[in-house]
Amino acid sequence: MRKNKHFLSKLLILSILITTFTANKAFSQVSTTDSDFWKNVHFGGGLGLSFGNDTFNASVSPSAIYQVNQQFAIGTGLNFNYSKFGDNTLTAYGASALTLFNVIPAIQLSAEFEQLRVNRNFSFDGANISDNYWSPALFLGLGYSSQNVTFGLRYDVLYDDEKSIYTDALMPFIRIYF
């Protein structure tokens, strides 16, 4: 377990360094006037709401990207998720950093590092358990883009079936930026 934490710490530091390097390199290629900057900022995100037999889930994930050029964008996002399944509850909140690269206008590659604080309260074999922990995710994605909408699949390479708030490492996505 200690070795796994050490690996995750190194992976987080490497991700931050790569993002910082690519952001500095990308921003050095762009004019720095305020008007040019805000013309290249796009806002979007996701909303989720689901109901079922004694279940409820709501999620909000606003995000913003800076379009460095026609092919490359970098951004950040916030995440909040609340789920209730019978007497069990889960609350998760955190932030993410993402990069988007359009190989050609219609094909988009993405990488997103997400760090969530998870608070779970659940019953297991008659015992009430409260669990609080950090859950990292590193999503690598491939999508089809049409103007400001992209849909595709992403895969969490750090997926842990006991700790992740997601049911599977492979997930569909839809991104919309205005």
* pLDDT tens, position by position, 46-81: 888 988 898 999 999 999 999 999 999 999 999 999
For 116-158, write each residue's pLDDT tens digit.
Answer: 999 999 888 888 889 999 999 999 999 999 988 999 999 999 9
Q: What is the pLDDT of residue 129?
A: 87
pLDDT (0 to 100) of residue 115: 97
According to the model, what pLDDT value does residue 123 have?
A: 86
Domains of the chain: 2-176 (2.40.160.20)
Segment 101-111, tens digit of pLDDT: 999 999 999 99
- Euclidean distance between CA atoms 167 and 140, whole angstroms: 17
Tell me how far apart the alpha carbons of residues 142 and 124 are, in angstroms, rounded to a whole number: 37
Q: What length does the chain have?
A: 178
Band of residue 176 on the pLDDT scale cut at 50, 70, 90: very high
What is the signed CA dihedral for 48, 164, 17, 145, rounded to 10 degrees? Answer: -40
Question: Is the pLDDT confidence value at 169 over 70?
Answer: yes
How does residue 3 score in pLDDT terms, banded at 50, 70 and 90?
low
Q: In Å, what is the CA distance from 100 to each residue of 103, 138, 140, 154?
A: 10, 14, 10, 12
- Find out whether 156 and 171 touch, Cβ atoms under 8 Å: yes
Q: Between 20 and 170, whose confidence is greater? A: 170
Contact between 136 and 8 (Cβ < 8 Å): yes
Residue 125: its pLDDT value, please? 82
Question: Strand (E) positions, the chain?
Answer: 41-52, 55-67, 72-85, 88-104, 107-124, 127-146, 149-156, 170-176
Q: Select the more confidently predicted residue: 34 or 159.
A: 159
Tokens of 44: 């979007």
Q: Closest Cα to residue 90, out of 82, 101, 99?
A: 82
State whether residue 9 is helix, strand or coil. helix
Cα separation, 139 vs 109, whole angstroms? 11
